[in-house]
Amino acid sequence: MERPLTQNIDRGREPLGLKAYEAAGGYQAVRKVLTEMTPEQVTKAVKDSGLRGRGGAGFPTGLKWSFVPMGDDAPHPKYLVCNADEMEPGTFKDRVLLEGDPHLMVESMIVAGYAMGADVGYIFLRWAYRLADRRLRAAIAEATAAGYLGDNILGSGYSLTLHVHVSAGRYICGEETALLNSLEGRRATPRAKPPFPQVSGLWGKPTIVQNVETLCNVPHVINRGADWFRGLSRTEEGGTKLYGVSGRVKNPGCWELPMGTPIREIVEEHAGGMQDGLKLRGLLPGGASTDFLVEEHFDTPMDYTSIQAAGSRMGTGTMILLDDGNCPVGMALNMQNFFARESCGWCTPCRDGLPWIEKLLQAIENGDGHADDLDLLDAHARDLGPGNTFCALAPGAMEPLHSGLKFFRQDFERHIAGKGCPWS
Amino acid sequence: MLSDQVQKEIRGELEHYPTPRAACIEALKIVQKHERWVSDEALQEVAALIGIAAAELEGVATFYNLIYRQPVGEHVILLCDSVSCWLTGCEKIRSGLRERLGVDYGQTTADGRYTLLPMACLGNCDHAPSLMIDEDLHQDLTPEALDGILEEVE
Amino acid sequence: MRIRILVDGKSFGVKQGDNLLHACLSNGLDLPYFCWHPLLGSVGSCRQCAVKSYDSEDDQEGRMVMACMESATQGCRISIDDPEAVRFRAQVIEWLMVNHPHDCAVCDEGGECHLQDMTVMTGHDHRRYRFTKSTHRNQDLGPFINHEMNRCITCYRCVRFYRDYAGGEDLNAFGAHDRMYFGRQSDGTLESPFSGNLVEVCPTGVFTDKTFKAHYTRKWDLQTSPSVCVHCSLGCNTLLGERYGEVRRVLNRYNADVNGYLLCDRGRFGYDFVNSEQRIREPHGRQAGAAAGEDLDQEAVLERCASLLKTDNSLVGIGSPRASLEANFALRELVGADHFYSGISAQEYELEGAVLKALREGPVRTPSLREVESADAVLLLGEDPTDSAPMLALALRQSVRQQPLREAMKAGIPQWHDSAVRGMIQDRKGPLFVATPVATALDDIATEALRAAPDDVARLGLAVAHVIDPQAPAVGGLAAAAQALAKRIAAALLSAERPLVVSGTACGSTVVIQAAAAVATALSVARAQTEVDPPLLFLTLSECNSLGLALLNPKPLAQLLKSGGKGVGGTAVVLENDLFRRAPAEQVDALLEGRSLVVLDHVPHATTERAHLVLPAATFAESSGTLVNNEGRAQQFHAALAPAAAIRPSWSWLRGAHAAARPLEAPPVSLEDLRNACAAATPELAEVWTPAATAEQTQTLRYAEEKVPRASFRASGRTAMHAHLNVHEPSPPADADSALAFTMEGFSSPDGQLIPSYWAPGWNSVQALNKFQSEIGGEQRGGDPGVRLIEPRAAGPSCYPDAAPAAYAARDGEWLVLALPRIFGGEELSNGSPALQERTPEARLVLHAEDGRALGLEDGDEVEVSAPGCSLRLPVTLLDDAVPGVAMLPLGIPGKGYLALPLRASIRRAPA
Ligand SMILES: Cc1cc2nc3c(=O)[nH]c(=O)nc-3n(C[C@H](O)[C@H](O)[C@H](O)COP(=O)(O)O)c2cc1C
Ligand code: SF4
Ligand code: FES
């Protein structure tokens, strides 16, 4: 089984330096695109591979690139931004790549930058990733010294400067347009789309924002081709995927597996199943802003289409498991507390609706719930849906709430009727 | 007054961005690295140094939760309270810290040594519960392990 | 282009590309909103304007969209009434109300609150939130604005207006999630001179009028009237609110061409002089030679008038640039055109002459403020409009957005999509070149700002003109840098679609005004053969009726002063004017010596002190009349209250006196008759009051029997107001001078210029204005008030001066002292307002920092300024951004009398 993303990674040791990385076939994709391919060909190769965004929304990557104005009269500078904010609760996959193979990250930025004609790249890194920060900066320095970055890369005429920008907190910074505002030194409230960043992004210039894992696939697609990439998968959707499991399993972790590996296989074989004495009640397949799946869904292959068909979203592909020793109301409260706290404060439903939800859940958890509180929660789960709010934060927050109310309704009712939490 | 070192570092940051304003978050972090928090005076001076209005900078400073506009202790403990850590018992770690330090979220110990803050997901969910003290990550926590961890802090 | 859209199955005509909210409101549909504002555009944050949008006839589901964030397209289908949309909008209000206090009863906004209106409109009335509300600490924001953060609904309008629109820097949004705060970084006075607009921009009671609070009245208990601001020459339209004989507040009155939705703080908060304790309330007579005088009753006054004003060759009248056309005309009638003088200083007369020449003889049009906003390249010569004509400065702030806006529109971003536009254009600005003697408040948006003495400003202007049209006089000996700058300016103006040149009398230099006119003329010559729009020339004047007075062709005051008064005898009649502000005291003394003096005015001053007869004149708030703004737009104001017993409008006094003195010559007339006589006598004013041209006249006819009520039909306690005097309800005062009545009965939905306040069913806040516009942001139904009097002549290069002035040469030990206008403290009437006094900084002489150092001065040290006829002592401000050898002296320092600025003076450190 091939593990292109993590082939160089061994969490027990330092990541590969430039020389070792090159020896392992690194920077071949850079050489290849700069000498053999036009930017359009690179974009086409990515399009053909069927690669979809790994940051949560699953948008086809090549298609996104094709919206960037190209050619001599395109506005410049153009920017490529790597979204390494990774603050979705339960998500820790990008960290594996950033810490484990920083040169792959750098190489990916150069190849993608070349495809869109970027002049400057930023890696927007979440503050907590101190180790990744150090390692990325070291890799950038090495790559710059070796001529892979800077002016006239490898004599090709293409130039790219790459910066690491470390955030100052706030989950909303991961939303791509809020991220752009943050990079510009502003309050990280999202921007309306359209216009899309590809047209008017960072400082009003064409910009692509792409997730770490998405980008790290690109050099491999270039080196090995679209067919190879599609062949890695167990389903229609190409490539491998970094799947993660957290919660009370025997062996929580993150593994690169073929796209479409079924949930049960990931939980049982890789995460070692539940800790002794605990039963799995449900799980969020791709981070805190995805819908709960329960027993009946556990044989679903983890890919975008199948998970959607099961009623949830693949999201980031990192699952959070609820066991029977933890209270579903408490878990819902914990997540809504997070979302309410991390709302940017821009739009009304999210700013004022989420704290209300949080207070209702707290009341229910405390035993102060009212009979009609569940109706209010249902109404919120509906009214904070897509289109009603300015960005996807609040709708994301409603996914686990809505499905939680559906699958664990008796637990909520038990709290209200029994005036308290049966688990505490 | 901002120290020469702080001013120098901020000026250095200005070069990484096409507009001075873009460096403002970094500038606040630089102040914080040296002063632990951003006082009103420091905020005014940074604004002047970058060439933006103080109200503009305050708008930014108060948006980001890792910019401290109030004094914090010598060491800041960021305890992850997001869902994976909650499932694996971060509330126990919180009470463990409360017992040992006598402070809860948002408070600083009487001796000014520690400030305890809740933190959104640290991206370390496979080793939950986790916390960070200053720049150091501590993982797979148990209440019992806290003593050792606190002892280690210089 | 007009297209049709379907709203709930009904077809409506809308402008293509308008957003759907705008389109619905333009069609009179009720759709609630908060964050959108016609001036500020859309950002989609409040989510209040949600509607259902359908892809096609077959689409039964639809999807929720924010109307303010979608462009109207031909045939698009939306539903306001869709039950899901209705329910969601009620839910949005419920969220906004989660932390909103239930304090409407004690809130200044109560009864005219957009939040209240929208809450009622959505039908939300039942509170389900049962947890504790959050609270905030309020800030002291200075004398104008009250702050009550708990009422905030986080619509972001305040910061979007204050920062993005008006360029203010000291207000912002702080915090995040549900802990948002809007205020200053720390307590303190809001610095922007446009802060007062927060009162109207904020849809709830967070930012309210502090001066109003001091004598608060509910909106429905105010008696209101349409008025015109008297505090500078721009003529912004206002709504005056009165109760118990006091003016209580000033609100914006919409005029699409002039001030749109906004006012400056001088205009909004300067009204309080009307309520001054010092008002002259009784006629006062003093026999020649007597030290003290006596109050006179009505009969005695007219007798006294008759004896003072008997036909007499030596009867002279001195008019006023702050009195109405009607009053000035009545004075001219009384004294005869040959004896009618301007009442402005010699310098001012000359400056005005230069402006009038450009307006009347030049080929270039004076734009309205709205047109200023749409100019896309600007050259500003000589003055800082922020101080002399504040709303012009605000309009210029919009003009620099025009070129970048075009870029955004080319990228397919509609202009109303505010955050997207700002995201794309970032800090880019179109060309604005500033050349002034001292730093201006517009320098922050200027492409280049040059500091130069007036003669050098003029030379730069002429050099620009010469680059554009070689027929314009060449400027000899220009430095290479100035020549290069002139070329850059010329290029920017030539390549623009709507270039604009701005100057005015506040710069105190006729050559600068001439240079501005020359640049505009050159542009019109250069563009004459092309299809492009003609260039624009905007010239400010000094006072609210400077131009109106000038159109009556008064003789220069200097001429009268030169002839002196000694031995001449007779009587001088002075209309709303303090001559000691207009000329050196010795000259005024000489003029008055041996003459009898009749003065009409509102508050006492040095001239009333000397009068033998003082007539208490109504202010603009107590009378109706006409003012002509700098653009040449004649606009009528209407009394908000009937003047107190012995007070009469000046025109009425003058006409009464005229009749008393010479009954055969001047029968008593109505204001309308007086206007007709004025129009007949003055060709340039012929259009001002014609029935066709002014809405008011038409309405007087149409509603001949039914006047427009100034009081709202909800006015409470009318019968109790005078109950302490008489339990019978008194009949309301009559008002023969306008089509408005001091009652709550009458025809209550007038159009155009008779609108006394904005109200419509369900719309109690100022945003009821929506219902009075032909379309949102367009003109009012029935047309916008005002008649433009001066249009440019056909092209002709008559506007070039013969030659350029010599370059300014600093002289050793001597400074050129220029007048420095100030928004607060620089204007005679508003200086009487306590709130403005609080904002008036100490008067200081501005010196270049180097000059200061040479004199051994530090900021704040006292200096002595001496010149023939002038000796002043005041502190200095040292500025790097000024011109060496040039000093700037604030205008209108109380008690400092008249100064013939500009003058040459010596300056030295004042002895301790
Ligand atoms: C509230 C919110 C937070 C997000 N956080 C992240 C994040 O931390 N990392 C990320 O890659 N994408 C995040 N996204 C998704 C981004 O907006 C964007 O879709 C993504 O970076 C695009 O990259 P991709 O196409 O490679 O997935 C977030 C979205 C929302 C609405
Ligand atoms: S849904 Fe609204 S308030 Fe929430 S994060 Fe997005 S824009 Fe901000
Ligand atoms: S008015 Fe449309 S979202 Fe606020």
Q: Is residue A192 part of a domain?
A: yes
Report whether C623 contacts C639 (CB < 8 A).
Answer: yes
What is the pLDDT at residue C797? 55
Of C628, C640, C635, C580, nearest to C604 by C-alpha is C580
Place of tokens 């590969």: A16
What is the pLDDT at residue C720? 81
Q: Could you report how far apart the first and last alpha carbons of chain B are, in Å?
A: 28
Ligand 1 centroid–CA A57 distance in Å is 7
Could you tell me which residues are beta bridge partners of residue C145? C209
Per-residue tokens: A53: 């965004």
Residues A203 and A273 in one domain: no
Could you tell me which residues are beta bridge partners of residue A240? A258
What is the pLDDT at residue C508? 94
Per-residue tokens: B154: 């210089």
- The distance of B43 to chain C (nearest Cα, Å) reads 10
Place of tokens 């190769």: A45
- The distance of C169 to chain A (nearest Cα, Å) reads 15
Kindly state the percentage of chain A with pLDDT values over 70. Answer: 100
Task: Give me chain C's average pLDDT, please.
Answer: 93
What is the pLDDT at residue C134? 95
Per-residue tokens: B19: 């507009």
What is the pLDDT at residue A207? 98
Mutate to test the pocket of ligand 3, among C33, C37, C70, C122 (most ligand atoms within 8 A of CB): C33
Q: C92, exposed or middle or buried, with CB in 10 Å at 0-12, 13-18, 19+?
A: buried
- What is the 8-class DSSP label of residue C611? -
Of C21, C10, C9, nearest to C775 by C-alpha is C21
Report whether C110 contacts C205 (CB < 8 A).
Answer: yes
Place of tokens 């082939």: A7
What is the pLDDT at residue C633? 96
Neighbours of C664 (CB within 10 A): 6
Report whether C225 contacts C740 (CB < 8 A).
Answer: yes
Averaged over C734-750, what is the pLDDT?
Answer: 86
Residues A272 and A202 in one domain: no
Neighbours of C696 (CB within 10 A): 23
Instruction: Examine the pLDDT at C443 and tell me if it is beyond 80.
Output: yes
Residues A74 and A162 in one domain: yes
Ligand whose nearest atom lies closest to the CA of A390:
2
ipTM: 0.96
Mutate to test the pocket of ligand 3, among C30, C46, C96, C115 (most ligand atoms within 8 A of CB): C46
Residues A261 and A372 in one domain: no
- C52 pLDDT band, cuts 50/70/90, is very high
Long-range contacts of A268-271, Cβ-Cβ distance < 8 Å, separation of 24 or more: A270/A243, A270/A245, A271/A245
How many structural domains does chain A have?
3
Instruction: Examine the pLDDT at C699 and tell me if it is beyond 60.
Output: no
* The pairing of beta strand C708-709 with beta strand C740-741: parallel
C208-224 per-position pLDDT tens digit = 999 999 999 999 999 99
State the fold for domain B4-63.
Arc Repressor Mutant, subunit A (1.10.10)
Residues A270 and A201 in one domain: no
Q: Which residues contact C706 (CB under 8 A, 6 or more apart)?
A: C746, C747
Ligand 1 lined by A210 (C-beta under 6 Å): yes
Residues A38 and A157 in one domain: yes
Which helix or strand (DSSP H or E) is residue C398 part of? helix C390-399
Averaged over C54-70, what is the pLDDT?
Answer: 96
Domain that residue A212 falls in:
18-231
In the chain, the amino acid numbered C302 is: L
* The pairing of beta strand C377-381 with beta strand C432-436: parallel
Q: How far apart are CA C721 and CA C786, in angstroms?
A: 35
CA neighbours closer than 13 Å in the CB half-sphere of residue C107: 25
* B63·C185 Cβ contact <8 A: no
Q: How far apart are CA A115 and CA C342, in angstroms?
A: 73
Mapped onto helix, strand or coil, the DSSP state of residue A293 is strand
What is the pLDDT at residue C792? 85
- B141 pLDDT band, cuts 50/70/90, is very high
In the chain, the amino acid numbered C846 is: V
Provide the residue ranges of all domains of chain B, joining segments of one domain with +. 4-63, 75-152
**Residues on chain B touching C175 (C-beta within 8 angstroms):** 62-63
**Chain C residues within 8 Å of chain A (Cβ atoms):** 43-48, 50, 63-65, 69, 88, 91-92, 95-96, 98-99, 128-131, 153-154, 156, 173, 175-180, 408, 411-413, 417, 419-420, 423-426
Ligand 1 lined by A142 (C-beta under 6 Å): no
Of A29, A23, A19, nearest to A109 by C-alpha is A29
Ligand whose nearest atom lies closest to the CA of C51:
3
What is the pLDDT at residue C354? 95
What is the pLDDT at residue C669? 79
Q: Could you report how far apart the first and last alpha carbons of chain C are, in Å?
A: 71
What is the pLDDT at residue C703? 54
Q: Is residue A10 part of a domain?
A: no
Q: Which residues of A360-391 are buried (b: 16+ CB within 10 A; e: fewer)?
A: bbbbbbeebbeeebbebbeebbebbbeebbbb
Which whole-number Å values give the CA distances from C90 to A164, A349, A389, C32, C169, in the listed order? Answer: 45, 12, 15, 10, 35
Which helix or strand (DSSP H or E) is residue B117 part of? strand B114-119
In the chain, the amino acid numbered C785 is: P
Residues A145 and A195 in one domain: yes
Report whether B85 contacts A331 (CB < 8 A).
Answer: no
Residue in A191, A355, A383 closest to C178 by CB: A355
CB-defined site of ligand 2, < 6 Å: A 172, 189-190, 343-347, 350-351, 389-391, 393-394
Q: How far apart are CA C319 and CA C572, in angstroms?
A: 11
Instruction: Examine the pLDDT at C749 and tell me if it is beyond 80.
Output: no
Q: Is residue A70 part of a domain?
A: yes
Q: Which residues contact C779 (CB under 8 A, 6 or more apart)?
A: C256, C257, C773
Q: How far apart are CA C710 and CA A181, in angstroms?
A: 49
Ligand 1 centroid–CA A308 distance in Å is 18
- A190 pLDDT band, cuts 50/70/90, is very high
C377-407 per-position pLDDT tens digit = 999 999 999 999 999 999 999 999 999 999 9
Last residue of a domain, one of A323, A349, A377: A323
Averaged over C404-416, what is the pLDDT?
Answer: 94
Last residue of a domain, one of A253, A288, A323: A323
Last residue of a domain, one of A272, A291, A323: A323
Most A-contacting residue of C42, C68, C91 (CB-CB within 10 A), to test interface: C91
Task: Check if B70 contacts C (Cβ < 8 Å).
Answer: no
- A201 pLDDT band, cuts 50/70/90, is very high
Residues A39 and A145 in one domain: yes
Kindly state the percentage of chain C with pLDDT values over 90. Answer: 81
- Give the chain A residue nearest B132 (alpha carbons): A128
Backbone angles phi, psi at C234, to 5 degrees: -80, -20
Report whether C650 contacts C575 (CB < 8 A).
Answer: yes
Ligand 1 centroid–CA A55 distance in Å is 5
Name which residue leads in pLDDT, C743 or A153.
A153
Residues A292 and A406 in one domain: no
Report whether C33 contacts C46 (CB < 8 A).
Answer: yes
- Give the chain A residue nearest B19 (alpha carbons): A184
Residues A43 and A172 in one domain: yes
Ligand whose nearest atom lies closest to the CA of A126:
1
What is the pLDDT at residue C698? 46
Report whether C875 contacts C862 (CB < 8 A).
Answer: yes
In the chain, the amino acid numbered C205 is: G
What is the pLDDT at residue A272? 98
Mapped onto helix, strand or coil, the DSSP state of residue C155 is coil
Q: How far apart are CA A122 and CA A114, in angstroms?
A: 14
Per-residue tokens: C565: 């008064």
- C697 pLDDT band, cuts 50/70/90, is very low
- The distance of C164 to chain A (nearest Cα, Å) reads 14
Ligand 2 centroid–CA A346 distance in Å is 5
Q: Is residue A1 part of a domain?
A: no
C817-840 per-position pLDDT tens digit = 999 999 999 999 999 999 999 999
Q: C321, exposed or middle or buried, with CB in 10 Å at 0-12, 13-18, 19+?
A: buried
Q: Which residues contact C615 (CB under 8 A, 6 or more apart)?
A: C283, C301, C598, C599, C600, C648, C650, C653, C657
What is the pLDDT at residue C702? 53
Backbone angles phi, psi at C696, to 5 degrees: -60, -45
Task: Give me chain A's average pLDDT, please.
Answer: 97
Instruction: Examine the pLDDT at C795 and tell me if it is beyond 60.
Output: no
Instruction: Examine the pLDDT at A360 and tell me if it is beyond 80.
Output: yes
Report whether A90 contacts A245 (CB < 8 A).
Answer: no
Q: Is residue A8 part of a domain?
A: no
Instruction: Examine the pLDDT at C533 and tell me if it is beyond 90.
Output: no
Per-residue tokens: C65: 């969209």
Q: Which residues contact B75 (CB under 8 A, 6 or more apart)?
A: B113, B114, B115, B133, B134, B153
Instruction: Examine the pLDDT at C695 and tell me if it is beyond 60.
Output: no
What is the pLDDT at residue C531? 78
Ligand 1 lined by A342 (C-beta under 6 Å): no
Mutate to test the pocket of ligand 2, among A338, A357, A358, A389 (most ligand atoms within 8 A of CB): A389
Q: Is residue A13 part of a domain?
A: no
Report whether C617 contacts C576 (CB < 8 A).
Answer: yes
Q: Is residue A137 part of a domain?
A: yes
Q: What is the CATH number of the domain that holds A410?
A: 1.20.1440.230
Mapped onto helix, strand or coil, the DSSP state of residue C790 is coil
Ligand 3 centroid–CA C69 distance in Å is 8
C176-188 per-position pLDDT tens digit = 999 999 999 999 9
Of C554, C635, C736, nearest to C324 by C-alpha is C635
**Subunits in contact with chain C (3 or more CB pairs closer than 8 Å):** A, B
Q: Which residues contact B152 (CB under 8 A, 6 or more apart)?
A: none
* The pairing of beta strand A318-323 with beta strand A240-247: parallel
* DSSP string of B71-112, one letter each residue: ---SEEEEEE-SHHHHHTTHHHHHHHHHHHHS--TTEE-TTS
C886-897 per-position pLDDT tens digit = 999 998 776 677
* A342·C177 Cβ contact <8 A: yes
C306-318 per-position pLDDT tens digit = 888 875 668 999 9
B108-135 per-position pLDDT tens digit = 999 999 999 999 989 999 999 999 999 9
Q: Is residue A117 part of a domain?
A: yes
Residues A157 and A271 in one domain: no
Per-residue tokens: A328: 């579903």
State the fold for domain B75-152.
Glutaredoxin (3.40.30)
Per-residue tokens: C336: 């005869």
What is the pLDDT at residue C311? 58
User: Which amino acid residue places its CA nearest to atom 18 of ligand 1?
Assistant: A176
Q: What is the CATH number of the domain that holds A281?
A: 3.10.20.600
Q: What does the radius of gyration of chain C's CA atoms come to, in whole angstroms?
A: 28
Residues A317 and A334 in one domain: no
Q: What is the CATH number of the domain that holds A41?
A: 3.40.50.11540
Largest Cα–Cα separation, chain B: 50
Sheet with strand C432-436: strands edge to edge:
C448-451, C432-436, C377-381, C499-504, C536-540
Instruction: Examine the pLDDT at C794 and tell me if it is beyond 70.
Output: no
